[in-house]
Amino acid sequence: MDRITVRNLALFAYHGVFEGEREIGQRFYLDVVVEADLAPASRSDSVDETVDYAALVDVIGKAFSETRQKLLETLAERVARRIFERFPIVQSAEVTIRKPSAPIEAVFDSVEIHIRRQRHA
């Protein structure tokens, strides 16, 4: 399968287990990789036969920000589901969400979750 990747998309949102996180908000970083057969687009040179990058970023942003959630896992699942809904050619989606300001008493770059989902036949 061919791949399209959006790397290090910064989104400000109000997610987290603690109430303060959901009130103040923070920045999150997302990597999204979608797999699809891009051969038809390469032959036709038509954006209609591929996954439009701008539309992909729009879908990711809306899915990530529409409602406040406690868990990154919930958000990653929603992002993957919306990608499948919007782009019929996508066969799999990988979503990584990094949270650099997690309320943990430790020194770290970020915590992250990573999921991979396949389109069901």
Q: How many angstroms separate the CA atoms of 47 and 17, rounded?
A: 40
Residue with tokens 């009130």: 23
Asked if 99 is an active-site residue, the reply is: yes
Contact 1, 92 (CB under 8 A): yes
> Which residue in the list 15, 78, 98, 99 is annotated as catalytic?
99
Query: What does the block give as tokens for 61?
Result: 């942003």
Half-sphere exposure of 4 (CA within 13 A, CB side): 20
What distance in Å separates the CA atoms of residue 84 and residue 90, rounded to the nearest whole number?
6
Which residues are known catalytic residues? 99
